[in-house]
Structure 1
Amino acid sequence: MANLRAGLIGLGMMGRHHGRVLAGLEGVDLVAVADASGQDPHGVAKGRPLVATIEELLANKLDYCMVAVPTIYHEEVGLALAEAGVHAMIEKPLAQDTPSAERIASAFEAKGLVGAVGHIERYNPALQQARARLEAGELGDVYQIVTRRQGPFPARIADVGVVKDLATHDIDLTSWVRQQPFTSVAARTAFRSGREFEDMVSITGQLADGTITSHLVNWLSPFKERVTVITGAKGAFIADTLTADLTFHANGEIKTVWGDIANFRGVSEGDVVRYAIAKREPLLVEHENFRDAVLGKDADIVTLSQGLATVRVAEAVIESAASGRMIEL
């Protein structure tokens, strides 16, 4: 069977990583790349055709395309790919607003095409393990999911704020790891860096099964943090997606009788286990799954309908912050 012919549009910071993975992906040939500037600042092309438009890229007879252009161009590029009958994975968020995301999802569905959204955190080994262990009942009933995603300002982002650029990771992974949609959100945002978009957000929410959620996201911290804490009846999972570590803190079973220790560690202690897990690059796993989906094999992709749901929640977060109200979804 001939390899799939893949294209890449958008050669910025994320595009270079997608190009690296696609260039070595088994069963796939990266046949051409595109960027509106006509330039290849990170050397992604490596002798392949370099063009400036989606129309020129489509002339290379693509089976599928990776879209890594700025969010405001996702609809334009996505609709062109759908019209041409080309499968696509689009970097997160799916689009800059709900109507655009709806049009992209509808276009791919109408053509019977495979579409996916690049929510890479789903493929982090720590979160993959957490979800599998939740499904196996190792944590019992889940009570709360808390995420912290903090770090310095990224100069590469200019077209959206921290909610749509970063918090969409947490919205998607929280709903996915629990397999439940959001039913309400309430949020507060801050604008501290002089840009038109928010650079800090605090979100509280609830999933359909009653799980409560909390998400702290910003571009203002001098340190980088990517942590998900899942608390349940039997203890808590802590997933650090920077190190891909998953740690389990069991509920206390051993009574602490030494008063000085009990003062700061609690009246009882449980086991703490950091799991040894295989750590493959999330971006490679993401691309392998999309390739398999295009081939009609079993695959775990972030569907366009799921990407659309994440955009809707993100917009509800922004609406809540602007109105001071909780928003029902």
Structure 2
Amino acid sequence: MHYAVIGTGYWGSNHARVAAELAEEGVIDEVVLCDVDESRVTELAESYGVRAATDYAELASLGVDAATVSTPSTTHHEIATTLLRDGVDALVEKPLALDSTEAWDLVSTADEEDRTLAVGHIFRHHPALCELKRRIDRGELGRVKYLATNRFSFRTPRATTGVLYSLAVHDVDISNYLLDDHPEWLFCSTDSIVREGIDETATVVLEYDGATSVINESWQVPVFGKRRDLVVVGSEKSAYIDYLDDTVLELYDSRIVERDGSLNAREEGKQVYETPKTEPLRAEVEEFVAASQGRSTLSAPGSVGAHAVDLLELAERSADRNETLRVESAGSRPARGRVSHE
């Protein structure tokens, strides 16, 4: 397999490293790095001893079979469409697109061309989160009732996309992933004070059938340093993950029990589990390569990324109107939602 990485900025350079490692191990045959910045891509390619290119439209003619797209989100649709039409499988970094129409168009194009389309929802490969998913699926937490996510830091907001598309894109997908469901209702509130039109703080509430997920995102919280964590409350046990510690899952054996007609809180301590150390990005790329070769299925196919973009658009609309939106099912994708006046 000939593999390309398109975009060699901060995150793209990590993709380049992983691709070069896989080539060294014989998992893929050749790597091509592609970027419009010729000096940057040439220097990076030389450091790994791989080929360099500056035009993604020429990659198919160079024999590329599959590629990572790690360019600015505004370019994802154009680049990925070209790749898929040229017979190149694509792993597109999140968000899949900044518009749901473009996101679902990529899904349709992949289907039409019989190509593999994956989206970089990397937390589906986070070791502790994967362990939590296994325990939820086998009923260890009982009925999941509540999820709470916090991603806080203090930094200048980006000039292009706010916290919804930069951070919440992870957490709406994580909620869907853990619950194996899509929400029925959505409410969102955002603040855009530092940069006009760029949300630097957002709270998203997703209401599922029997469960609520509350997502808090902000680039304007200086009191925690960098905080990224998740709490999942079940009827039998609860869980805590610090995303900055990839391998640790905490389970709390706490529940409300009824005895002799009265309710009591029972707390029986916690257990700390450490999962095997794996790099989420490498696991993501390895799975994509295997799926491209027909040896595996995808944890995050293009439809997963498109569903996430749908929910982000609904979140924007909810924030604009200060209204709760109902998420209605429409075949393989949610509808755009409607305003509830209840």
**Separation in structure 1 between the aligned mates of residue 39 and residue 11 of structure 2, nearest angstrom:** 15
* Aligned partners of 2:190 and 2:200 also within 8 Å: yes
With 54-63 and 42-51 compared, the bigger mean Cα shift is at: 42-51
Q: Which residue of 2 aligns with 1:283?
A: 281
One-letter code of the match for 1:67? V
What percentage of residue pairs aligned between the two structures are identical? 28
- Equivalent position SS for 1:28: coil
- Equivalent position SS for 1:77: helix
Aligned-pair distance for 1:154? Answer: 6.4
Q: Which residue of 1 aligns with 2:33?
A: 33
> Aligned in 2, Cα 1:88/1:41: closer, same or farther, shift over 3 Å?
closer
Aligned-pair distance for 1:14? Answer: 0.5
With 105-114 and 219-228 compared, the bigger mean Cα shift is at: 219-228
* Aligned partners of 1:11 and 1:35 also within 8 Å: yes
Q: How many residues align?
A: 313
Aligned-pair distance for 1:37? Answer: 2.3
Instruction: Show structure 2 runs of 5+ residues with no match.
Output: 258-263, 328-342
Q: Which residue of 2 aligns with 1:72?
A: 74
Q: Which residue of 1 aligns with 2:260?
A: none
- Counterparts of 1:100-115 in structure 2 under 5 Å? 100-115=102-117
With 26-35 and 235-244 compared, the bigger mean Cα shift is at: 26-35
- Counterparts of 1:1-329 in structure 2 under 5 Å? 4-25=1-22, 26=25, 27-40=27-40, 43-46=43-46, 47-153=49-155, 157-207=158-208, 209-222=209-222, 223-244=225-246, 245-251=248-254, 268-329=266-327
Aligned-pair distance for 1:195? Answer: 4.3
Once the two structures are superposed, what CA deviation does each residue of 1:233-254 show, in whole Å capped at 9, x if it has no partner?
1121111111022100111699
**Separation in structure 2 between the aligned mates of residue 71 and residue 127 of structure 1, nearest angstrom:** 25
Aligned-pair distance for 1:225? Answer: 1.2
Once the two structures are superposed, what CA deviation does each residue of 1:8-62 show, in whole Å capped at 9, x if it has no partner?
1011110000010111124113421111222327953134332222123333211
**Separation in structure 1 between the aligned mates of residue 113 and residue 265 of structure 2, nearest angstrom:** 60
Q: Which residue of 2 aligns with 1:261?
A: none
Aligned-pair distance for 1:177? Answer: 1.3
Q: What is the RMSD of the two structures over their aligned residues, measured on CA atoms?
A: 1.9
One-letter code of the match for 2:142? G
> Aligned in 2, Cα 1:281/1:67: closer, same or farther, shift over 3 Å?
same
Runs of 4+ aligned structure 1 residues displaced above 6 Å come to none
Once the two structures are superposed, what CA deviation does each residue of 1:141-165 show, in whole Å capped at 9, x if it has no partner?
110111111123367x432211011
> Aligned in 2, Cα 1:42/1:91: closer, same or farther, shift over 3 Å?
farther
One-letter code of the match for 1:198? D
With 163-172 and 187-196 compared, the bigger mean Cα shift is at: 187-196
Instruction: Show structure 1 runs of 5+ residues with no match.
Output: 255-265
One-letter code of the match for 1:172? D
TM-score of the superposed pair, with normalisation by structure 1: 0.90
